[in-house]
Structure 1
Amino acid sequence: MQRNLKFYLKLFRVTFLLSAFTFGGGYVIVSLMKKQFVDDYQWFEENEMLDMIAIAQSSPGAIAINAAVIVGYQLAGWLGVITTVFATVLPPFAIISIIAHFYQTFIENQWIAWMLEGMQAGVAAVIVSVVYNMVKDLVKKKEKYLILIFLLALLLVSYFNFPVSWLIVFSLCCGVIYSFLKR
């Protein structure tokens, strides 16, 4: 892949649009990143993208920024990191600046409150879609131990209010042990 000005502008545009139209937090961006970077542009293989997202999720900080750093670096080194991080930060910075300026007006407007409630349902649907696609891939590959780890993690969070930070460490340990034993 040629790394010229056209490539960097395309990388900026794709990342900017992902960031600008991803409402509801970093987890929503996961399925959109997969669609853009894997399906549309074939910049990554699906497994490679899932690995990068897993690293971004388990690293401290905002998942969108973490993912931008990893994707940018994988595609174009440090100049790619600068491009993707700037493109990822710019839309929320602009939106938050506008909201801060009109904060009092926004919190009193019933239409905006209803719109935000509706967006919560959409965000939940996107997160469920991401989980479904990841589990579907595990089932298709017949990864019974990874499916077991997923079900155990789901059980721990859903029924036992297991702290998410502990769940990440637990899943990380299970993944390392699984990978070690698989080899």
Structure 2
Amino acid sequence: MKKKNSKILRTLFLSTLYLSTFTFGGGYVIVSLMKKDFVDARHWIDEEEMLDLVAIAQSAPGAIAVNGAIVVGYKLAGILGAFVAIFGTVIPPFVIISILSVCYQAFRSNLLVARMLEGMQAGVGAVIASVTFGMGCSVIKEKDVISLLVLILSFLLACSGEINIVWIILGCGILGVIRTMLERKVRK
């Protein structure tokens, strides 16, 4: 059992290290790549669990990439798995940002670097749109009218710009808790 656990920890560390090293654009991008790796390729967790873990990661304070790594690591190997996933996720940005901060003055005025970063922004937008579409399709496939209505209402409220996204997330969380409590009450 120890050998299997150490293999999972090593694979978890290397996977999060790789994803964090080669992912540009923030947490939503790394979450989509985590889904491809942990759900589609390795089958460590199923898609519904991944959606739940993403919801937890989004609701917690902090960077979504780190939060996502924590919940996936904890799911796979407990507290030690969470720490291993954190280190794998945090090391690459720490090293990269440390190097960039030393070279910031040279990069700041480099036209080639500026254009490259603009191009990466477009790619990141496409990846985020793909993740959003995929997660939305999962909600639609469930054919759960309440979840679909919450999805549509949340989208409209977020697009309106009138309500801070934090309030939308908190409202959805409260609705989820109320719904779960009511469903449990009905089952009893």
TM-score, normalisation: structure 1: 0.93
Partner amino acid, structure 1, of 2:170: V
Superposed, 1:37-116 pairs within 5 Å as: 37-116=38-117
- Runs of 4+ residues over 4 Å off in structure 1: none
What is the 5 A alignment of 1:134-173? 134-173=135-174
Instruction: Kindly report the root-mean-square deviation, in angstroms, between the aligned alpha carbons of the 2 structures.
Output: 1.5
Deviations 1:35-78 (A, max 9, x none): 10000000001111111111011001111111111111111122
**Structure 2 regions of 5+ residues with no counterpart?**
none
Establish whether residue 29 from structure 1 lines up as the match of residue 53 from structure 2.
no
Q: Is the 8 A contact 2:57 2:68 kept in 1?
A: yes
Structure 1 match to 2:16 = 15
Provide the secondary structure at the position in 1 that maps to 2:67: helix
What is the DSSP-based 3-state SS (H/G/I as helix, E as strand, rest coil) of the residue aligned with 2:62?
coil
Cα separation, 2, equivalents of 1:157 and 1:100: 34
Q: How many aligned residue pairs are there?
A: 183
- Note the C-alpha offset of 1:139: 1.4
Contact 1:59/1:66, CA 8 A, preserved across alignment: yes
Unpaired segments ≥5 residues, structure 1: none
In structure 2, relative to structure 1, the CA distance for the partners of 1:149 and 1:114 (3 Å cut) is same
8 Å contact kept, 1:3–1:76: no
Q: C-alpha separation between the residues in 1 aligned to 2:76 and 2:166?
A: 30
Residue type matched to 1:18 in 2? L
Per the TM alignment, residue 180 of structure 1 is displaced from its structure 2 partner at its CA by 3.5
1:28–1:126 contact (8 Å) kept in structure 2 = yes
Contact residue 5 and residue 77 of structure 2 kept, 8 A: no
In 1, Cα distance between the equivalents of 2:132 and 2:145?
16
